[in-house]
Amino acid sequence: MQSLKDKITSQGRVMPGNILNVGSFLNQQVDIELYEKIGQEFHKRFSNEKITRILTIEASGIGIACMTARYFNVPVVFARKFKAKNVDDNLYSTHITSYTHGIDYTITVPRSFLKADDSVLLINDFLAN
């Protein structure tokens, strides 16, 4: 997507450790017009699929997932990095490592939010390197 490439070229910064910092437009400060274009692009690329849910990981992926969900008219489900006290143990879970934070997480999603017949589009915010 050219708009995203242009933003990365003009505002992205390569940090020590070869980490790409896109905080000025994708996660700490959000360019809503760019998010809208990204959502449209995901819809265009996957419009032939019967998407029933969009799944992302908290926190930075939620915005792009929400913009995309507008076009599919489906809910967004996000995996939590920490188990909340108001969630039971009937969960899907897996272990991940955050490249940018250098932290391992066990992410979880309540099983009630993802059904066997769902067609899930996975969206995350950005690749770090």
What is the pTM assigned to this prediction? 0.80
pLDDT tens digits for range 90-110: 889 889 887 767 888 888 999
Domains in the chain, CATH or no CATH each: 2-80+114-122 (3.40.50.2020)
How many CB atoms neighbour CB 15 within 10 A?
13
* Kind and range of the H or E run holding 5: helix 2-11
Of residues 63 and 124, more confidence is placed in 63
| pLDDT category of residue 117 using cuts at 50, 70 and 90 | very high
Mean predicted lDDT score pLDDT of the chain:
87
53 pLDDT higher than 80: yes
Of residues 105 and 48, more confidence is placed in 48
- pLDDT reported for residue 105: 87
How does DSSP assign 76-113, residue by residue? EEEEBSS--TTS-S-EEEEEEEETTTTEEEEEEEEGGG
Least-confidence region, from 59-63, 75-79, 89-93, 107-111: 59-63
Of residues 47 and 27, more confidence is placed in 47
